[in-house]
Amino acid sequence: MVPVPFKKLAEMNASESSDAVRKRVLSARKIQEERFAENNGVYANAQMTSKLIREHVLLDEESNELIKNAMDRLGLSARAYDRILKVARTVADLEDEENVKSHHLSEAIHYRSLDRENWGG
């Protein structure tokens, strides 16, 4: 995994107001609603099929290497791979980023590893 830079960690200490978080979430939901306007029954990243994931989560070489290493080290399944990509797409949407970048993917992998540690899955 790519270590989180100190600058990013220091930014995490500054808390974001509930109103700011609410605005980001509403914006991300709107982005997803527009993204899936042509897909009946799909309104959010969590509902993406594998085909939609491949269409809306295009990884660069660095991100591909990152997810490959996570898959190998954490022994993740194909299902976990898709889940990580969905979460990474959502993290990017929350940052109003068109493309999923390696730091979005790293955050999603981190959430997955926390999930496995805390819930035994």
Q: Which helix (H) or strand (E) holds 102?
A: helix 102-119
pLDDT tens-digit map of 31-56: 999 999 999 999 999 999 999 999 99
Of 71 and 1, more confident: 71
Report how far apart, in Å, the C-alpha atoms of 64 and of each of 27, 57, 95 are. 27, 11, 20
Q: What one-letter code names the amino acid at 45?
A: N
Task: Give residue limits of the domains in the chain.
Answer: 6-119
> Per-residue confidence at 15, pLDDT binned at 50, 70, 90?
confident
SS3 category, 35 = helix
In b/e form, how buried is each residue of 69-100, taking b as 16+ CB within 10 angstroms? ebbeeeebeeebbbbbbbbbbbbbbbeeeeeb
Question: pTM for the complete prediction?
Answer: 0.83
What pLDDT sits at residue 16?
Answer: 84
How large is the average pLDDT for residues 60-76? 94
Percent of the chain past pLDDT 90, that is, above it, reads 74
What whole-number distance in Å separates Cα of residue 20 and Cα of residue 30?
Answer: 15
What whole-number distance in Å separates Cα of residue 90 and Cα of residue 32?
Answer: 9
What whole-number distance in Å separates Cα of residue 118 and Cα of residue 86?
Answer: 20
